[in-house]
């Protein structure tokens, strides 16, 4: 645990590079897979198509976020006036004679420290981008001989192959289902916000997409953040209530009804374990840890289940206690 925290600056670029490599490789497998009446694409062609597709998506998302952040900064004075009016109305309802100003509230929450932290986080992401790309590139080179090295180390037994195949199968199923549902929720959220007339609807739709990958907390943020902007933007409550209840209903139904029905018990993680891992990995690696907490725990559960000494731990981490018995 100490090494994970102390070595965060060294480990995070490597972990992000591993995630980028895995997603591109998984996309290449989908592109390479032959369809009915089609010829199977060569692996280098599928890999190049996957890299171009992933790069294009990241570029579009980056451009959308950059443009809308600038637009939000330009519209801040207008929102500030509306927010001050809401503060005055709330103070009046609570019987407070003199409502605090926005500047006073910001002083109390140390706005300078908050902005400094955000700027440092943004600078950190930009600074490690090149390192992440280098790690991902060398992982593509290394994957050619990686399984052969593992076979030399652990022998020709089926256990290693079984563990790796199950990890790969479960993680890909998780990413595929999560991505599909994240796209669906973000599109529906964009339609609702565009219909209501919310500013920067495309930006908030992108945020809803990313929020969906964060268990539990992400769904709450995806509901609250656009609703609060709507509350500040309009002078009446109808748009706020519409965004709050419609997007809230979408998030609740998709996250609590549709996703469990599609994913079933394939991951077999206890909800308590998911929440605990969200807190732990979020504390250790910040937002990146929140995104990766479920895949990390899935890998841990699979590995622990394959050994007698750690099998009881796998049972505790599982949702129903039903995990494969170790082979020895």
Instruction: DSSP for 283-327, please give it.
Output: HHHHHHHHHHHHHHHHHHHHHHHTSTTTHHHHHHHBSSS--PPP-
Own/partner pairs, 190-196, CB within 8 angstroms, 24+ separation: 192/242, 192/243, 192/246, 192/247, 192/250, 193/226, 193/230, 193/243, 193/247, 196/230, 196/239, 196/242, 196/243
The closest of 271, 326, 273, 270 to 302, measured between CA atoms, is 326
Residues 319, 275: Cα–Cα separation, whole Å: 13
| 109 has pLDDT over 70 | no
Instruction: DSSP for 34-98, please give it.
Output: PPTT-PPPPHHHHHHHHHHHHHHHHHHHHHHHHHHHHHHHHHHHHHHHHHHHHHHHHHHHTT-SS
Determine the pLDDT at residue 35: 63
Question: In this predicted model, what pLDDT tens digit does every residue of 253-304 receive, in sequence order?
Answer: 888 788 877 775 566 778 888 888 888 888 888 878 888 888 888 888 888 8
For residue 51, how far is the Cα from the chain centroid? 20
Mean pLDDT for the stretch of residues 5-21: 86
At 115, the pLDDT band (50, 70, 90 cuts) reads: very low
Question: In this predicted model, what pLDDT tens digit does every residue of 36-90 receive, in sequence order?
Answer: 566 677 878 888 888 898 888 888 877 777 777 667 667 666 766 777 777 776 6
Determine the pLDDT at residue 188: 92
| All structural domains of the chain with their residue ranges | 1-154
- pTM (two decimals): 0.75
Handedness of CA 113, 206, 186, 26 (dihedral sign): negative
Determine the pLDDT at residue 23: 86
Give exposure, 34-50, as e/b (b: 16+ Cβ within 10 Å). Answer: eeeeeeebeeeebbeeb
């Amino acid at each position: 645990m100490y090494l994970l925290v102390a070595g965060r600056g060294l480990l995070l670029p490597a972990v992000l590079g591993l995630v980028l490599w895995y997603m591109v490789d998984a996309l290449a497998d989908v592109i390479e897979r032959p369809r009915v009446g089609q010829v199977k694409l060569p692996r280098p062609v599928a890999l190049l198509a996957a890299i171009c597709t992933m790069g294009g998506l990241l570029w579009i998302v980056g451009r959308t976020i950059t443009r809308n952040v600038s637009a939000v900064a330009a519209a801040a004075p207008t929102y500030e006036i509306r927010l001050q009016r809401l503060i005055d109305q709330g103070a009046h309802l609570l019987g407070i004679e003199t409502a605090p100003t926005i500047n006073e509230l910001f002083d109390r929450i140390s706005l300078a420290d908050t902005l400094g932290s955000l700027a440092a986080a943004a600078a950190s992401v930009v600074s490690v981008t090149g390192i992440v790309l280098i790690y991902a590139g060398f992982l593509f080179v290394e994957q050619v001989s990686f399984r052969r090295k593992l076979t030399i180390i652990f022998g020709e037994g089926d256990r290693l192959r079984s563990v790796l195949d199950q990890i790969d199968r479960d993680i890909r199923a998780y990413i595929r289902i999560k991505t599909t549902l994240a796209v669906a929720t973000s599109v529906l959220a964009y339609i609702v916000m565009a219909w209501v007339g919310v500013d920067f609807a495309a930006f908030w739709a992108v945020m809803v997409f990313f929020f969906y990958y964060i268990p539990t907390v992400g769904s709450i943020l995806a509901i609250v953040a656009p609703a609060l902007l709507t509350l500040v933007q309009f002078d009446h409550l109808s748009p706020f209530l519409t965004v709050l209840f419609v997007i809230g209903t979408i998030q609740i139904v998709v996250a609590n009804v549709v996703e469990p029905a599609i994913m079933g018990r394939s991951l077999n993680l206890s909800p308590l374990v998911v929440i605990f891992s969200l807190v732990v990995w979020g504390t250790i690696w910040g937002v990146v840890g929140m995104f990766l907490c479920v895949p990390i725990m899935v890998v841990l559960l699979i590995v622990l289940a394959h050994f007698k000494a750690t099998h009881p731990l796998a049972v505790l981490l599982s949702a129903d206690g039903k995990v494969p018995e170790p082979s020895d």
